[in-house]
Amino acid sequence: MAKYTQKKIAAKLAAKAATDADEISPEQEGELKALGEGILSLGRRTTEQALELGGYLARAKSILPERAFGAWVRAICKFTPKTARNYIAVHEHLSEYKDRLVTAAVAPTTLFVLAYAEQPDVERVISAIEDGEQLTVAQVKAMVGAMPAKKATNEGVLDVGGMAGLRKIAELKVEEDSVKFLQLTTGILKRVEKAMEPLAQNRAVFKGPLQELIMDDCKHAHDLINSIAAPLQPAMVASVNWRPAKLTEGTTWRKVQELLSAMGGANGWPGKEDFVPWLQAEVIPLLRFVVHGDALQGDADGEDRADAAAPLDKDADDGLPAFEDMPPKIQETIENALEIVSPERRDEIRSQIVFDPKSMKRQYKKLAA
């Protein structure tokens, strides 16, 4: 078999990029060729090379259309687009720590974990390595909340009494639930972004297939955020189970809570005309806030809330109060009625009920036991 030189591979890549993406200019073809040659001159074993590789890949990704980037990566790097995105994340999120990471000789597999961690957690891990701790990837994941600590560390905790024991149990629960929540929301975001890809080619984005993929995950993610962050509030009737409260009005996490509730049921998704704008303006920004910590843009008054995520019928959307604003007796009646409904569907149904105080008629929309 003929042995390919770096120049032959780079030339082949430049030609493929030109055929796969008509919008690439001759100048960009030349830059892609140089990027390919630069990548081929690198190894992938040292910390410094991992950061440099991420920079090359980030530039290539900014030139190539999404559909061509994966093929380009496979041909040049011999690994998957997912791995390429990990290197890009290392470049984008860890470059400010480059000197310390290089000095500590942090392995790429550990860099991949740190690239998606919060800044305080990154600092904590780097400091521990600088202090001489030999951390495994699993230990780093546990430190940054990417996976729960080994169950062996939980042994004996359930036998510790008093508030100290209770707090320890709570800490372990929140840690494990937070990992599950991040895993679910990361998967949801990836599927939403994947579903939006046809838009770049002026093709339709379909709601049904996306709902089938993520609706259950959204429902479970909503359960988890309630379990992690929402305090329980008593019902109007003492015999009724307490339920998670809404997070503080006007906060971004309240919007996340409402969004996941809406996305966990088919009735919470907007119609065909509003579907794509909803994904662009609300779903993706809020999910990126959760997964990557990205701040929301233009969210001064919180006006663009989850109204689109749980639209009411036109004849009902005329300023009628939602469940939480109804009189206590009406709330009590609704809670009693919801006792026949499975707990995981109650939040969805509450969000679909409005009340007309003038006629004293409850207006129930699509209420199904």
Beta-carbon count within 10 A of 335 CB: 18
Task: Give every CB contact of residue 45 below 8 A, 6+ residues apart in sequence.
Answer: 108
Beta-carbon count within 10 A of 39 CB: 22
**CB of 49 closer than 8 Å to CB of 107:** no
pLDDT at 186: 87
pLDDT at 300: 44
**CB of 69 closer than 8 Å to CB of 79:** no
pLDDT in tens, 246-256: 999 989 999 99
Percent of the chain with pLDDT over 90: 27
Closest CA to 367 of 343, 341, 336, 335: 341
Angstrom distance (rounded) from CA 274 to CA 359? 31
pLDDT at 347: 67
| Structural domain spans, the chain | 6-118, 157-292, 323-364
Phi, psi angles (nearest 5°) of residue 110: -75, -35
Angstrom distance (rounded) from CA 104 to CA 101? 5
DSSP helix/strand/coil, 363: strand
Cα–Cα–Cα angle for 183, 302, 286, rounded to 5 degrees: 15
Closest CA to 257 of 303, 309, 211, 213: 309
pLDDT in tens, 318-333: 455 666 666 766 766 7
Task: Give every CB contact of residue 91 below 8 A, 6+ residues apart in sequence.
Answer: 51, 53, 54, 55, 57, 58
Q: Which residues of the chain have pLDDT under 50?
A: 1-4, 14, 18, 149, 152, 300-318, 359-369
Give 183's Cβ-side CA count (13 Å radius). 13
Closest CA to 181 of 265, 256, 82, 266: 256
